[in-house]
Amino acid sequence: MWHQRSQIQWLQSGDQNTKFFHGVSTQRKRRNFIKGLRDENGTSQENEELVSRLLIKYYANLFTTSNPRNLEQILDGVQPVVTEEMIVTLARPFIVEEVECAIRDMAPLKAPGPNGMPPLFYQTYWTDVGKQGYMALKLDMSKAYDKIEWVFLEQILLKLDFHEDWVALLMEYITTVSHSILVNGQPKSKSKSKSS
């Protein structure tokens, strides 16, 4: 638990059980503690259950479409930029060495994936996991977008001239959603859904 809470990369360098290490970890926990949030009316809510509901509602809204209209008008000004060479590169089958390199480059003790396993698990047991053909992709979409409109993303990728098969594969990965919300370290919501 201390390892993941601290997110300190130098943990493996021998500072696992020092007073300084525990102090840094405790300080981070205090800094990240959510005491309260303001609701849509601007009222401060400090009750843990109400704070949890506000967070669940926020993320549910983030991943729910607003059914945008007239995308063609927006896309009219977009010019194709993907070259044939780029299409060939993206359409290549995954190479085991590329996957292994990506897994090695992940910080071992950063946030766990949807199955609760941190990158260290995959780094240690990749030979077994890789043989089974599992794939893990962790994206923090809320850091990338204010609002996610999958239909817009799909249409703009096609307008930019990405290959249809590549876009379909990407959309399959990012629209098959697993949500897990922790409030002050406690699980409050977990759901799997297929977004559209």
* Closest to 108 measured CA to CA, from 95, 97, 91, 121: 121
DSSP 51-114: HHHHHHHHHHHHTS------HHHHHTTPPP---HHHHHHHHSPPPHHHHHHHHHHS-TTS---T
What global pTM score does this model have? Answer: 0.57
Cα-to-chain-centroid distance, residue 35? 24
The single residue listed with the structure tokens 């995954």 is 94
* pLDDT at residue number 160: 95
Cross-strand pairs, 191: 179
pLDDT, one tens digit per residue, over 151-164 is: 988 999 999 999 99
94-112: average pLDDT: 81
User: Which pair of structure tokens corresponds to residue 117?
Assistant: 């396993």
Residue indicated by tokens 């990749």: 126
Q: Is the pLDDT of residue 11 over 90?
A: no
Higher pLDDT, 159 or 93: 159
Q: What is the pLDDT of residue 159?
A: 94
The per-residue pLDDT for range 52-92, each reduced to its tens digit, is 889 888 877 877 788 888 888 889 989 999 999 999 998 88
So what's the pLDDT on residue 162? 94
